[in-house]
Amino acid sequence: MYSTSTQKRSWTFTPEAIQEKRNQTNEQFREKHRILLEPGEEEFFLTSSDELLMQRMIEHAALTFAESFRPHIFSSIKWTAYAYFKRAFLGWSVMDFSPKIVMMACFYVAMKTDEFFVTIDDFVGNLKTGTIEGNISRILGLEPEILQANRYHLTVHCPYRPFEGHMMDIKKHIPHLGFDVESIRQDAYKFFDECLISDAMVLYSPSHIALAAILYGLSQQNREVDILRDALSKVLGVQEDPWNGKNPEEMSNVDRLLNKISEIVARVTSSHEEFDANYKLHSKSLMKRSNAFAELNKNLGDRKANHPVFAKKEQPVDSDDD
């Protein structure tokens, strides 16, 4: 259950906490490499905002990868892969790890945890860039790193099952809607994809995200929010007095839940719009800065190999081996 899961306990945050983690990760990378820098070189480092935009660009591209992957994968695999990716980059910098190959490795790990058997050869056969041998080596090499970055918390609770349950509740408790509630499914799944290019999965519970998808689907068809409000009041067992109507105190709980769901829709929609705007304005300049940093990073690698601080310490010899 989500309520007792490591996902809730260890991987659900406030927006402020997420931003703080990203800033800390960026600063830690800078601090680790300052000793190697020459004057003026730190300006080639990416900012935490640059790093987030690069992650979002990879998340957006991965939607196409997931859709075109053969054999066709479950939606839960996609959600799980994105969860692994987002968790990892709360502690990793894109200046240290290629987000593109990390995302591919996250998909491969997610297929294993979701019991969707695909050989590594078949998996890399779906990749459009790189060599077969190189892709296999990098993905398999990243697998233990991803497990460690996720603290071996591999079970990811997705919103797809709660969505089906909520849809059944609406059909059961409000049978005479005047329209087919199944007609919102396409828009709801579009919302799920938009969630993947946002922080929704590390901010909210799967059940709340599922309800937000229903609210989004209803709004796309200009349906009344009261449909969801009525369904929630019946599911939550709000008592109705024949003389006084529904219990105001119990209905306030329903309204608080609706406000929460509306907040999720607003945050996801805003995040998606923000990505579109930033992508159009900054993607080209970001790629130039990224390429400039890549050149610097090669030099840093050479300097690191010759710097005493980064030299590998010789391991003590066990007495039995003397």
Beta strands in the chain (DSSP E): 240-241, 245-246
Residue type at 309 in one-letter notation: V
Domain ranges of the chain: 14-156, 160-271
212-252 residue pLDDT tens: 999 999 999 999 888 888 888 888 877 665 445 566 677 88
Closest by alpha carbon to 282, among 79, 51, 92? 51
Low-confidence ranges of the chain (pLDDT < 50): 242-243, 314-322
**CATH level 3 topology of 160-271:** Cyclin A; domain 1 (1.10.472)
**How far apart are alpha carbons 226 and 223 in whole angstroms?**
9
128-171 residue pLDDT tens: 999 999 999 999 999 999 999 999 999 999 999 999 999 999 99
Span 14-156 CATH architecture: Orthogonal Bundle (1.10)
Q: What is the pLDDT of residue 321?
A: 44
Report the sign of the C-alpha dihedral through residues 15, 20, 23, 28, in that order.
Answer: negative
> Do 14-156 and 160-271 fold alike per CATH?
yes
Q: What is the pLDDT of residue 80?
A: 98
**How far apart are alpha carbons 316 and 319 in whole angstroms?**
9
Residue 203: phi, psi to the nearest 5? -120, -35
CA distances from 282 to 143, 211, 269, 290 (A): 31, 33, 20, 12
Q: What is the pLDDT of residue 304?
A: 86
For the whole model, what pTM was predicted? Answer: 0.92
Are the CB atoms for 269 and 194 separated by under 8 Å?
yes
Residue 39: phi, psi to the nearest 5? -50, 130
Displacement of CA 38 from its chain's centroid (Å): 36
Q: What is the pLDDT of residue 229?
A: 87
3-state secondary structure of 77: helix
CA distances from 176 to 172, 179, 238, 265 (A): 10, 8, 20, 26
Token output for 75 = 């939606």
Displacement of CA 119 from its chain's centroid (Å): 24
Token output for 313 = 């310490």
Place of tokens 């939606």: 75
Q: What is the pLDDT of residue 245?
A: 56
